[in-house]
Amino acid sequence: METTDRPRALRFRLAGQSLGRRSPKSELGAVAGAVAVQNTPPGSAGQALHARLTGLTPRGLQAEVETGRTLVQLWAMRGAPHLVPVEDAAVYTTGLLPDGEESCLHFIQGATDHLARFGLGATDAVEYTCEALPGVLDGRHLSKDELGAALAEKVGEHLPPRLRGAWTEPDGLGSNTYGQSVVRYALYVVSLHGVLCIASQPRGNARFALTEQWLGRRLPSWEAGRARAELVRRYLRCHGPSTSAEFATWSGTAPAFAAASWELVAGELTEVGYRDGSAWVLTEDLPTLREPPAAQGVRLLPPHDPLLATRDRAALVAGDRARRQVWRSQGNPGVVLADGEVVALWRPSKKGNTVTIGVEGFGPLDDEVREAITREAETLAPFRGARNARVTVTSPG
C-alpha cells in the first residue's frame, strides 16, 4: 500500500483549497464551489475568499450575491451558513439531505428532547415546517427570530390540543418558545431542500427568503445519489486523504448516511497509509498527492475558514496547546498561514476606519513574514469594513 506523510497531505489540501497560490478573481465560482465557504460570523466568507483570490473586493463579491445572483447563502454542512455557487448548490443541499428519521434526527440532534416532549419525529417537524414555509415567507424577508415565531404558530396546528399550550411556553433558549426552537432546528434540514436561503449581503445580518423568489429561479436540481457522490469527491479534493468517519463529522451527517455516500464513490478511491493507519484519496488525485506543489506567501484566514474545518487538526497545527488556542468552544481566532504552515493567531479590533490586526505568533516571526502580514492586512481591511489597517505582533523570543 502506498503511504504519504503530513507535509504532503497538508500541501495537497492547500492546493485543493487555492491556498498554495491565489487564483484569479475570475475563478470565484470555481473556488467557492470547491470549498463551500462558511460565513460565520457574517463577513467571514469574504475574508476566506480574499485569501484565495487575487483582486477580489467586497463590492465585487456583493455584486455576485445581490445583483448577478451567481452565489447564494444557504445552511449546509453542520447546519452552518455557507456561500456557494448557485450552479453547485445541489451538492451542498441535496448532497446532505437526510434520507430517513435517523439521519434527519442526527442532523438536528439538538432538537431531540424538544421533539420527544411533543411526540414529534424529526422528519415530521421538517415536513410540517417545509409545508408552512411558503405561506409564511412569500414575498417577505424575515430574520431568524421572525421566521421562527411565524412558523411555530403554523406548525403548532398539527399538535393535539392538549400539547398546544406547552408549545408556546418559554424553553429557556434565549427568548424562544418550545415551538420556535423546534421549527428553527427543522429549518436546517428545510434549507437542504433548496427552498430557503439567506437574502442578505455577506457582511449583513441574516434575513431569509424563499430561494426561488430571491434568485428569480429554482436552484438546479440534482438526483440525490449524484449530489451525495459529488460531495464526497469535493471533500476529498480539499481534505484528503481522509476517512468516512471524518467525512461524517465534517458534513454533520449521521455516520451511516456518510458511509453510504462514501460507498457511492468507492470505485474511485485508493487506500493510502497515513497517520499509522489507512485513509483514502481519489485515485485521479494520487499524482498530486505524491508531488503536491509548494505553498507560497502569507494568508490571514478567518475563524471557521474551510481549511480549519479539517478533522485532521494535528496535521494543520502542531501541539495540543496550540490546537486548543485555534479551536475554542467560542470566540475562535483567525490563523496566519505562512508558506503553508500555521505560524500565528490573529484577532481584529476596529476603531473608526482602521482595523487593528493583533497577531500572536506560536514562535518568532521574521521580518519578511511580518512585512507580508502587514501587506495582507492592508488588502483585508475592506473586508473588515475599514479603509486602513495596522498590525501588532507578539511572539515568544
What pTM was estimated for this model as a whole?
0.96
Model pLDDT, residue 201? 63
Distance (Å, rounded) from C-alpha 97 to C-alpha 76? 9
Distance (Å, rounded) from C-alpha 45 to C-alpha 37? 5
Model pLDDT, residue 73? 95
- Which helix (H) or strand (E) element contains residue 345? strand 341-351
Model pLDDT, residue 164? 96
User: Which set of grid coordinates corresponds to residue 1?
Assistant: 500500500
Model pLDDT, residue 55? 95
Is residue 257 within 8 Å of 98, Cβ to Cβ?
yes
> For the chain, what's the residue count?
397
- Which helix (H) or strand (E) element contains residue 74? strand 71-75
Model pLDDT, residue 392? 97
How far is the first Cα of the chain from the last one, in angstroms, to the nearest whole number?
43
User: Which set of grid coordinates corresponds to residue 181?
Assistant: 426552537
In this predicted model, what pLDDT tens digit does every residue of 273-307 receive, in sequence order? 999 999 999 999 999 999 999 999 999 999 999 99
Per 3-state DSSP, what percentage of the chain is helix, strand, and coil (rounded to 5)?
Answer: 50, 20, 30
Low-confidence residues of the chain: pLDDT under 70: 201-204, 397
Model pLDDT, residue 203? 64
> How many CB atoms are located within 10 Å of the residue 55 CB?
11
How do the domains of the chain map onto residue ranges? 6-93+221-290, 101-193, 317-394
46 by Cβ neighbours in 10 Å (0-12 / 13-18 / 19+) ranks as buried
